[in-house]
Amino acid sequence: MSGGEHALESRLLKTGSERLALLGKHADVLMQAYTRDEVPLESLSDSALRKLLAARILWRPDEQSGVKLAPKVRELIAEMLADETRRHVNADVAETLELIRALVHSYREARSRGEHGRLEQQLMRLRQEVDDLNGRFADAIDSLWQRLNSDFGFVSQLNDKIRENDRAQKQIARLLDGLALIDFDELIELVGSDGGLRKLLISQLQQQLSHHYTSLREVQRRLIELMARFRKQQARSRLISGMVAFMREHPGFVPGNYARRSEVPGLVNQAAPLSAAAAPALDRNLECRLLADLLHRLPQPRHTTQTVEAAAPAQAQESSLAAARQQALKQDVEHFYLSVIDQPQAKPVSALDYLHASPLEWPDEIWLFQVISEYQGLPRSDQKAFRLKQQESQASQFNHLRLIHDVELQLAV
């Protein structure tokens, strides 16, 4: 008896490993089948196809149709890839409960007959079934959270997101229905006084299921919130495109003047802006000191050097006659400078002597002024070529005002 069982087990192990290996061996073809409708047969040999069909990895719905991926394999791949578009939520609780009941009866039979081998085996199968049930809920909840956290990012259109959300909510409803099928009073009666069974089917399962229940409720709440947001976004889009279409169709559309109504609608009532301005005030001693301090800390205003072009408008304002006279004066002074350069042995020349000796008719004061300003207007290097000596006297003993009577220009040698 036990030898036969052993042989069966080793045969199962061998076939199982062989068939699992098929999945790896034909992984490329199977993945192509996953993304398409049918298996691309051209890349499979006849014997490989036979093996895959025998292992129920592939199946052929009828003679006419092509070969397809078995639903369980498709599910397995979707599960492994966390592919939310195809991941199924399946918690067939009713069938599992049937199975558990049967296993418990069988376990109790084995115990009453003292069949220890069978007892162990039944207990292991019970444990597997409970784990399975638990795992199915955990998987389903994981899949729901994934979809929720990605805002249903695996579909791009809002309408699709709304449909996916709807589908997820229906799945939750089914899962909750499944949970409701589990009646712990019945299970308590079923396990009776067996400590091992009680631990597995009552305390452990109850704890796990109540955890799932809380998770499902939370996901459900969040899904509904998200759905409300989706619908709101959808409504906004429709409203805006509707209004744009309407305004394009009716270019002269003018709504009523809501501001003239006896009850002005709240949304329209928006007060005019008001700026809270302030200016420096000098009526408080303490602040005066602060203001003075601030004033000192102001950055020095930078006077940029004025270019000739920039100064031009000021000149343009002068009458053209005055400008012409100014130009003539400047030219005459330049001639004076040239004559100084021509002086033998660099003799100093008095500006006023030059003026009076020439036919020029400039007033003395203006002449002197222009001679001095011409000197000051020279570039530094050119200034060094001349020596300008002013004949001056103090205007009065009470101040330092000095009067210039004449200037002498000399070539510096």
Partner 1 sequence: MIEHGPLLERLLAGEFVCPISDESGYRHLTNEETREEIDTYLRPLNRRLASNEDGSVYFLAWRQLNDSARDQLSRQLGDTLNSLLPLLEWLQLVQEALGRDTLAAPGDVLKPAEFSAKCEDNQSLRERLERLATDSFFGSQSDQLDAQVKQVFKRLKEHGYLLQPHSERQVFVVTGKIDYLVDMVRFIRDEENLPIEEGSEEGSGAQEALL
Enumerate binding residues for partner 1 (CB under 8 A): 156-158, 161, 221, 224, 227-228, 231-244, 246-248, 254-260, 264-276
Asked if 68 contacts 37 with a C-beta cutoff of 8 angstroms, the reply is: yes
Query: What does the DSSP assignment read for 245-313?
Result: HHHHH-TT-----GGGSSS--TTT--PPP---------SSHHHHHHHHHHHHHSPPPP-PPPPHHHHHH
d(CA 201, CA 108): 14
Give 276 or 413: the residue with its C-beta nearer to partner 1.
276
Within a 10 A sphere around the Cβ of 406, how many other Cβ atoms? 17
Q: How far is the CB of 85 from partner 1 (least distance, A)?
A: 17
Q: How far is the CB of 215 from partner 1 (least distance, A)?
A: 16
Give 278 or 413: the residue with its C-beta nearer to partner 1.
278
Give 105 or 238: the residue with its C-beta nearer to partner 1.
238
Give 273 or 379: the residue with its C-beta nearer to partner 1.
273
Pick the closest to residue 387 from 346, 357, 356, 354 (CA basis). Answer: 346
Q: How far is the CB of 235 from partner 1 (least distance, A)?
A: 5
Asked if 122 contacts 106 with a C-beta cutoff of 8 angstroms, the reply is: yes
Phi, psi (5° rounding) for residue 285? -55, -50
What residues are paired with 387 via a beta bridge?
410
Give 267 or 298: the residue with its C-beta nearer to partner 1.
267
Q: How far is the CB of 227 from partner 1 (least distance, A)?
A: 6
Q: Which residues contact 370 (CB under 8 A, 6 or more apart)?
A: 329, 330, 333, 362
Give 64 or 269: the residue with its C-beta nearer to partner 1.
269
Asked if 187 contacts 202 with a C-beta cutoff of 8 angstroms, the reply is: yes
Q: How far is the CB of 236 from partner 1 (least distance, A)?
A: 5
Q: How far is the CB of 263 from partner 1 (least distance, A)?
A: 9
